[in-house]
Amino acid sequence: MTHITFELVSIRATKVWKDAVTGKRRQETRKFEQTINPFNRLPDGSMKMRDTILIELRAEKEAWLAEQPKP
């Protein structure tokens, strides 16, 4: 058996806010990731490259940062 390792492309984001109830500072960190592999494809069927994946990850990160923090 052959073991194949795909290249991981990831970015992290930290959301910081002040808790409305206690007044304490809170933070949550999340990692957004995808791999470069033959199964990760665009709608036209071509394989996603690092640049395309980073654009998608940044959009996902910005959407998550825009959400209101959990109470």
Q: For residue 22, what are the CA distances in angstroms to 40, 52, 68?
A: 44, 41, 17
CA distances from 7 to 14, 35, 40, 51, 63 (A): 23, 6, 12, 13, 24
Question: What are the sequence ranges of the domains in the chain?
Answer: 7-66
Give the per-residue pLDDT at 17. Answer: 92
pLDDT-above-90 percentage for the chain: 83
What is the spatial distance between Cα 62 and Cα 3, in angstroms, rounded to a whole number?
Answer: 35
Helix (H, G, I), strand (E, B) or coil at 42: coil
pLDDT at 71 over 70: no
Is pLDDT above 90 for 62?
yes
pTM across the whole model: 0.84
- Say yes or no to pLDDT of 30 above 90: yes
**pLDDT averaged over every residue in the chain:** 93
